[in-house]
């Protein structure tokens, strides 16, 4: 299949699970690691965790792997890392997220998760930077995702594929995270399409329908992870209070800065959680 003429996932006849299997084979070949146990997608503010969880065995550009797209955003590192954990388990760190707002379709958005599953991973850790609705969540606060509201009006599932999403964000894994950091709060993540931030009215709507965190990723990926039979742990770094909850305007610079300030602390926390899995 040509990669220059057409992205393999843009061909409607392509089977996304076959593309993911090809990607997993590329990862095995390039890293020399046949199977992985745990996969982590590191969003804004979480990247340093990759340096802390274990010994990096291989670090490859994601664009060398079938089906991965170039990162759209500076600050999102487009690499895949194979890490040997102290426990002897293997972690695949995905530093290349394709966002739904890029407009490449949901197949490309969830390709990394399907690839992680095809490498053998049974636990998927999804992290992001997001806006907070609870006023006591100061920028820099990490929170567990307990459930989600998917407001993209889209799904990674195709056809009559009915997948149960009860306990999508594993209570078992949240329990392990809380045993490491008892102060961790949790909330319902709400995925919007983006890339615009929400209006204050949208944030009030989220609040009234039971959401606590607003962002532009994760929910679609979590659904794909569940379809693949993985256990999901979701964590958000609150980079700002959501629009209208904070009185000042939102900016990408503010989000990045909050991520940089919080990064050492939340990365160390995530490393300790991974160590306990
Ligand atoms: N809304 C949506 N996405 C975000 C936000 C937000 O307030 N902050 C960081 N990512």
Q: Pick the catalytic residue: 29, 181, 198, 257?
A: 198
Q: What is the pLDDT of residues 44-73, one digit of tens each?
A: 889 999 999 999 999 999 988 999 977 666
Contact 117, 228 (CB under 8 A): yes
Specify burial of residue 15 (Cβ count, 10 A radius: 0-12, 13-18, 19+). exposed
Q: Is the CB of 197 under 6 A from ligand 1?
A: yes
User: Any catalytic annotation for residue 198?
Assistant: yes
Protein residue with its CA nearest to atom 2 in ligand 1: 215
- Tell me the pairing of strands 185-191 and 141-150: parallel
pLDDT at position 256: 87
Domain map (residue ranges) of the chain: 12-127+143-190+215-236+262-275
Q: What is the pLDDT of residues 24-37, one digit of tens each?
A: 999 999 999 999 99
Contact 230, 121 (CB under 8 A): yes
Q: How far is the CA of 24 from the centre of ligand 1 (A)?
A: 31
Helices and strands in the chain, H and E counts: 8, 9
Q: How far is the CA of 85 from the centre of ligand 1 (A)?
A: 31
Which residue positions in the chain have pLDDT lower than 50? 1-3, 5
Protein residue with its CA nearest to atom 6 in ligand 1: 131
pLDDT at position 63: 87
Q: Is the CB of 130 under 6 A from ligand 1?
A: yes
Q: Is the CB of 228 under 6 A from ligand 1?
A: no
What is the Cα–Cα distance from 142 to 273, expressed in whole angstroms? 13
pLDDT at position 71: 64
Q: How far is the CA of 197 from the centre of ligand 1 (A)?
A: 6
Pocket test for ligand 1, best of 187, 193, 197 (most atoms within 8 A of CB): 197
Q: How far is the CA of 131 from the centre of ligand 1 (A)?
A: 4
pLDDT at position 74: 57
Which numeric CATH code is attached to 12-127+143-190+215-236+262-275? 3.40.50.1580
pLDDT at position 3: 46
What is the Cα–Cα distance from 39 to 232, expressed in whole angstroms? 10
What is the Cα–Cα distance from 114 to 109, expressed in whole angstroms? 10
pLDDT at position 259: 87
What is the Cα–Cα distance from 26 to 188, expressed in whole angstroms? 35
């Amino acid at each position: 299949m040509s990669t220059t003429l057409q992205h393999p996932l843009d061909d409607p006849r392509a089977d996304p699970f076959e593309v993911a299997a090809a990607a997993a084979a590329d990862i095995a070949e390039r890293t020399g690691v046949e199977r992985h146990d745990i996969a982590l997608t590191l969003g804004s503010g979480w990247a340093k965790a990759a340096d802390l969880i274990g010994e990096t065995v291989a670090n490859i550009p994601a664009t060398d792997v079938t089906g991965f797209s170039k990162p759209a955003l500076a600050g999102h590192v487009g690499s895949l890392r194979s890490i040997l954990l102290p426990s002897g388990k293997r972690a695949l760190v995905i530093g290349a997220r394709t966002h739904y707002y890029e407009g490449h379709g949901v197949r490309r958005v969830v390709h990394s998760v399907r690839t992680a599953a095809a490498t053998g991973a049974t636990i998927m850790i999804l992290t992001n930077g997001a806006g907070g609705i609870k006023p006591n969540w100061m920028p820099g606060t990490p929170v567990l995702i307990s459930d989600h509201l998917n407001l993209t009006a889209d799904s990674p599932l195709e056809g009559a594929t009915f997948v149960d999403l009860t306990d999508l964000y594993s209570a078992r894994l949240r329990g392990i995270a809380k045993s490491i950091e008892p102060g961790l709060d949790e909330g319902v993540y709400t995925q919007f399409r983006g890339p615009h931030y929400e209006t204050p009215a949208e944030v009030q709507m989220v609040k009234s329908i039971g959401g606590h965190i607003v962002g532009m990723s994760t929910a679609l990926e979590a659904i794909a992870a569940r379809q693949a039979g993985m256990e999901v742990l979701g964590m958000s770094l609150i980079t700002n209070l959501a629009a209208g909850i904070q009185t000042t305007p939102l900016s990408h610079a503010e989000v990045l800065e909050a991520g940089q300030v919080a990064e050492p602390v939340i990365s160390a926390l995530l490393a300790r959680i991974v160590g306990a899995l």
